[in-house]
Amino acid sequence: MGNRYAIVLAAGQGTRMKSKLYKVLHPVCGKPMVQHVVDQLNRVQLNELITVVGFGAEKVQDHLGEQSHYVIQEEQLGTGHAVLQTSDILADKQGTTLVVCGDTPLLTSETLQHLLDHHEKEGAKATILTAHAENPAGYGRVVRNSSGDVERIVEHKDATGEERSIQEINTGTYCFDNAFLFNALNSVSNDNVQGEYYLPDVIGILKQEQEKISAYQTPEFTESLGVNDRVALSQAEKMMKQRINEHHMKNGVTIVDPDNTYIAPDVEIGQDVTIHPGSMIDGVSVIQDDVTIGPHSTISNCDIGTGTEITQSVARDSQIGARVYIGPYAHIRPQVNVDDDAKIGNFVEVKKASVGKGSKVSHLSYIGDASIGSGVNLGCGTITVNYDGHNKHLTTVEDDAFIGCNSNLIAPVTVGKGAYVAAGSTINKDVPAEALSIARARQTNKEGYASKIKATKKD
Ligand code: UD1
Ligand code: CA
């Protein structure tokens, strides 16, 4: 295998998106379009990846960071002009150069690999990835001669009525012999309806120079969807969602209503997991076997252990152990670590806290900045009073402690191992291990007092 280079075209403003956000940063299934493209490119072996950026360049660079080299296209004069900006890095290199648009998020590495193999097998100077489109409007059309060889590409706006009836489209993905690409680019003009330097013109130029041009037609039109506006963005989202969901279903995940289940591309899910409708799993979450999620749950950047159930709840940036029960209506905020066999019940919010093995926080609690040991029972309405208006403080509840209902634990405070806190207590001093702490007003019963009250109310 010779040298391989890739250029991602991402400098267009994306005016048709009508957005403050740079076009290629719009997410599809939670991941920016350009990141989808770069991830797929990284699966084929490359010597170098260069992204052409323009308007909003810093944001793309901030996002992709070290994953790519960058060149700036100051003015967006067309896709050919964009490729020309990589001359300083690539023009004198020998090898194959892949060019991919940053707005084709559905393109897969398998198709890129097929394209490269085809290009190399044919010994072509340029190979276009084409597709058959039911509705080709907007795309460049592949014009072939009477023997079926590719002659050139004509842009929709420049095409004649007859050319517009061609259904084979240019997907905007190509393989070039690098030296021939840069030579031909110097001959590309902007004499067309849009006044732009078109990269596809390189095909016609090489053909006229009698060089070998080839086309590889992908059987999957969906892969070539170019996202120019928000209608196409929603179509890309739908297709990507379907692709991801089918991948998991084929791996042994039950998705009860795939149209209503949203899983990000980098989520890993084990076997015999069931996902109920209205659930979203995003970020880099890892879900182990036999987990049940939903209905209506959101899980973001979490690791979820085997056999855990999460119902109608939200969990973010946290670690949840095995056989844990969460919900309904629980909120697990970042930096939570729930150990195996624990329970986080309805209307419980947990933040920056660890909850030990087998511990229960079953109802109506706020547990923030806390270290809860194993075998602990936090009664209904237990609140960690973690914030004094300036700083957050830690609450520690050691193993096997029992906190009665409606208790306030004013941090910093520690309840020792095996201790009891009576219901309704407000605890602001440490409770020793095995002690019983009662911190509430004493109850006084005044016998027969009710009749006196009633007497004052007679008129
Ligand atoms: C382009 C192709 C068309 C193809 C279609 C596939 C050209 C002239 N046309 O059309 O044949 O069918 O893609 O989706 O190439 N960009 C730059 N700098 C520029 C202009 C564009 O970096 O000066 C980038 C854009 O950010 C985008 C990509 O190139 O990622 C394609 O540009 P876009 O304007 O979307 O081209 P299309 O009209 O879709
Ligand atoms: Ca496009």
Instruction: Tell me, yes or no, whether 292 and 212 share the same domain.
Output: no
The number of the ligand 1 atom at minimal distance from the alpha carbon of 77 is: 23
User: And the tokens for 418?
Assistant: 């095996």
Say if 241 falls within a structural domain: no
Instruction: Tell me, yes or no, whether 280 and 192 share the same domain.
Output: no
Report in angstroms the alpha-carbon separations of 81 from 77, 289, 304, 424. Answer: 6, 50, 48, 73
Say if 327 falls within a structural domain: yes
Q: How far is the CA of 293 from the centre of ligand 2 (A)?
A: 37
Residue 426: helix, strand or coil by DSSP?
strand
Q: How far is the CA of 270 from the centre of ligand 2 (A)?
A: 36
Last residue within a domain, chosen from 224, 259, 288: 224
Q: Give me the tens of pLDDT residue by residue for the chain, a chain 459 residues long.
A: 689 999 999 998 889 999 999 999 999 999 999 999 999 999 999 999 999 999 777 899 999 999 999 999 999 999 999 999 999 999 999 999 999 999 999 999 999 999 999 999 999 999 999 999 999 999 999 999 999 999 999 999 999 999 999 999 999 999 999 999 999 999 999 999 999 999 999 999 999 999 999 999 998 899 999 999 999 999 999 999 999 999 999 999 999 999 999 999 999 999 999 999 999 999 999 999 999 999 999 999 999 999 999 999 999 999 999 999 999 999 999 999 999 999 999 999 999 999 999 999 999 999 999 999 999 999 999 999 999 999 999 999 999 999 999 999 999 999 999 999 999 999 999 999 999 999 999 999 999 999 999 999 876
With the most atoms of ligand 1 within 8 angstroms of its CB, the residue from 24, 79, 191, 221 to mutate is: 79
Instruction: Tell me, yes or no, whether 11 and 108 share the same domain.
Output: yes
Give the pLDDT confidence score for residue 252 in this predicted structure. Answer: 98
pLDDT digits (tens, 9 = 90+) for 408-417: 999 999 999 9
pLDDT digits (tens, 9 = 90+) for 371-411: 999 999 999 999 999 999 999 999 999 999 999 999 999 99
Instruction: Tell me, yes or no, whether 208 and 271 share the same domain.
Output: no
Q: How far is the CA of 337 from the centre of ligand 1 (A)?
A: 46
Say if 377 falls within a structural domain: yes
Instruction: Tell me, yes or no, whether 312 and 419 share the same domain.
Output: yes
Q: Which ligand is nearest to the CA of 136?
A: 1
CATH code for the domain of 116: 3.90.550.10
d(CA 416, CA 212): 80
Cα–chain center distance at 297: 16
Say if 449 falls within a structural domain: no
Total number of domains constituting the chain: 2
The number of the ligand 1 atom at minimal distance from the alpha carbon of 103 is: 30
CATH code for the domain of 268: 2.160.10.10
Residue from 296, 298, 290 nearest 274 by CA: 290
Helix (H) or strand (E) holding 359: none
Instruction: Tell me, yes or no, whether 209 and 357 share the same domain.
Output: no
Using CB atoms within 10 A of its CB, is residue 323 exposed (0-12), middle (13-18) or buried (19+)?
Answer: middle
Say if 236 falls within a structural domain: no
Residue 97: helix, strand or coil by DSSP?
strand
List the residue whose alpha carbon is closest to atom 11 of ligand 1.
140
Give the pLDDT confidence score for residue 68 in this predicted structure. Answer: 95
Q: How far is the CA of 36 from the centre of ligand 2 (A)?
A: 15
d(CA 80, CA 99): 11
Instruction: Tell me, yes or no, whether 219 and 316 share the same domain.
Output: no
Give the pLDDT confidence score for residue 328 in this predicted structure. Answer: 98
Q: How far is the CA of 335 from the centre of ligand 1 (A)?
A: 42
Contact (CB, 8 A) for 410 and 394: no
Say if 62 falls within a structural domain: yes
List the residue whose alpha carbon is closest to atom 16 of ligand 1.
12
Instruction: Tell me, yes or no, whether 211 and 343 share the same domain.
Output: no
Last residue within a domain, chosen from 207, 224, 241: 224
Q: How far is the CA of 228 from the centre of ligand 2 (A)?
A: 5
Give the pLDDT confidence score for residue 352 in this predicted structure. Answer: 98
Say if 270 falls within a structural domain: yes
Which residues are close to ligand 2, an ion, with C-beta < 5 A?
103, 226, 228
Instruction: Tell me, yes or no, whether 121 and 65 share the same domain.
Output: yes
**Residue in 63, 132, 363, 393 annotated catalytic:** 363
List the residue whose alpha carbon is closest to atom 10 of ligand 1.
139
Q: List ligand 1's pocket residues with C-beta within 6 A.
A: 9-12, 52, 73, 76-79, 81-82, 101-104, 139-140, 153, 155, 169-172, 198-200, 226, 228
Q: Which ligand is nearest to the CA of 24?
A: 1
Domain that holds residue 182: 4-224
Say if 371 falls within a structural domain: yes
Instruction: Tell me, yes or no, whether 174 and 263 share the same domain.
Output: no
Residues contacting 92, CB < 8 A, separation 6+: none
Instruction: Tell me, yes or no, whether 332 and 193 share the same domain.
Output: no
Instruction: Tell me, yes or no, whether 20 and 168 share the same domain.
Output: yes
- Whether 132 is a known active-site residue: answer no
